[in-house]
């Protein structure tokens, strides 16, 4: 393991120790409170203090953990990504903007929008942008204490935006059990492949564009992408760009408690990036054979 990774791992391990020790002390305090508080003179107050000390340790541990994660992503991962990808840029705090996300026209507007882990760059000549997205809808329910407002997540996953290798007019959407979320006049398009029509609903404002983009081979490739990525998937082709969103309840570049910062973690992060390579390679959008050089 390289020195930089060891540095972050040591700091993370220290924060985890705080959490473990604090948690153990607080738990011990709570257990003692139930078992022995009445037998000790002034025991109740002492145990409350013990629990508080334990909780403070846990709080400090989490604060340190969060700080280490931020520092690791901001310094180490940012640098790594700029080395791995041409024009690579990574910002853990930012993500695709709401305008960029809704531009795909198949995700409905959220009451709560959150995006993070913005990644941009160029792979094999194809410019892309990607980030984690979480969309939530506000709901209300009546309880005996009045109206309660709560939020339900209807999309959690990644969105990718690629420059497409064909220029086209109109708008096209290829969706899994979804409909376009736009007032634009989309018509359902049936393609030749029964299998493709079963898997995806295709909507377009221009029938020719749908057939121009969705060649039989491209349909096969979209199905291969769908098979390789669990979760609900959607593609839209708008303004000479391909938007792809995977609702898989996952986040990229996540660092968990008690999971070591080591080469295995870096490998896992590279696998998160591999999705982008796979899409470009599988869909062959790196083949610039339809545009002027």
Partner 1 sequence: MQDWMIVLIIIGVILLLPVGWFISTMNTLKRKEVKVEEAESGIDVALTKRFDALSKLVQTVKGYAKHEAETFEKVVKWRAGLPKELSLEQKQEFMGRMNEVQSGINVAVEAYPDLKAEKVFVNLQNSINNVEEHLQAARRVYNSNVSTLNQRIVTFPTSIVAGMIGMTRKKFFEADEAKKSDVEISF
Q: Of 172-180, 216-224, 244-252, 261-269, which part binds partner 1 (CB under 8 A)?
A: 216-224
> Minimum distance between the CB of residue 212 and partner 1, rounded to whole angstroms?
4
> Which range of residues in 77-85, 114-122, 152-160, 184-192 is near partner 1 by CB under 8 A?
184-192
Rounded-to-integer distance, Cα 115 and Cα 197, Å: 32
Q: Is 293 in the site for partner 1 (CB under 8 A)?
A: yes
In this structure, the number of other CB atoms found within 10 A of the CB of residue 34 comes to 9
Binding pattern for the stretch 269-288 against partner 1, x by CB under 8 A and - elsewhere: -------------------x
Least separation in angstroms between CB 290 and partner 1: 4
207 binds partner 1 (CB under 8 A): yes
Instruction: State the minimum distance, in angstroms, from the CB of residue 241 to partner 1.
Output: 17
Tally the residues of the chain: 293
Burial 85-102 (b: 16+ CB within 10 A, else e): beebebbbeebbeeebbb
From residue 120 to residue 159, what is the string marking binding to partner 1 with x (rule CB under 8 A)? ----------------------------------------
Shortest Å, Cβ 127 to partner 1: 19
Q: By rule CB under 8 A, what count of residues binds partner 1?
A: 19
d(C-alpha 94, C-alpha 117), whole Å: 6
C-beta of 204: minimal distance to partner 1 in Å?
A: 11
Binding part of the chain for partner 1, among 29-37, 125-133, 189-197, 263-271 by CB under 8 A, reads: 189-197
Quote the least distance from Cβ 234 to partner 1, whole Å: 22
Q: Which residue among 138, 190, 227, 270 contacts partner 1 (CB under 8 A)?
A: 190
Cα separation, 3 vs 37, whole angstroms: 48
Stretch touching partner 1 by CB under 8 A, among 141-149, 206-214, 232-240, 253-261: 206-214
Q: Toward partner 1, which CB reaches closer, 6 or 215? A: 215
The residue ranges that bind partner 1 (CB under 8 A) are 166, 190-192, 207-209, 211-212, 215-218, 288-293
């Amino acid at each position: 393991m390289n020195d930089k990774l060891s540095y972050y791992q040591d700091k993370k391990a220290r924060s985890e120790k705080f959490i473990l020790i604090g948690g153990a002390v607080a738990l011990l305090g709570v257990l003692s409170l139930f078992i022995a508080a009445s037998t000790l003179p002034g025991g109740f107050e002492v145990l409350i203090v013990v629990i508080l000390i334990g909780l403070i340790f846990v709080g400090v541990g989490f604060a340190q953990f969060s700080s280490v994660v931020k520092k690791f992503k901001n310094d180490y991962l940012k640098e790594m990504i700029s080395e791995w990808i041409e024009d690579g840029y990574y910002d853990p705090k930012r993500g695709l903007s709401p305008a960029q996300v809704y531009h795909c026209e198949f995700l409905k507007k959220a009451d709560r929008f959150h995006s993070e882990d913005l990644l941009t760059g160029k792979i094999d000549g194809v410019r892309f942008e990607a980030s984690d997205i979480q969309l939530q809808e506000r709901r209300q329910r009546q309880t005996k204490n009045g109206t309660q407002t709560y939020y339900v997540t209807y999309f959690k996953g990644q969105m990718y935006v690629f420059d497409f290798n064909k220029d086209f007019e109109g708008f096209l959407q290829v969706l899994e059990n979804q409909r376009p979320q736009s007032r634009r006049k989309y018509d359902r398009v049936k393609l030749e492949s029964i299998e493709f029509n079963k898997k995806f609903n295709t909507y377009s404002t221009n029938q020719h564009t749908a057939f121009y983009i969705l060649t039989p081979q491209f349909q096969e490739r979209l199905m291969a992408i769908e098979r390789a990525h669990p979760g609900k998937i959607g593609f839209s082709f708008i303004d000479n760009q391909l938007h792809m969103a995977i609702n898989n309840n996952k986040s990229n570049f996540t660092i968990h408690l008690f999971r070591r910062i080591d080469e295995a973690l870096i490998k896992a992060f590279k696998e998160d990036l591999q999705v982008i390579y796979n899409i470009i390679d599988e869909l062959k959008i790196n083949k610039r054979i339809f545009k002027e050089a």
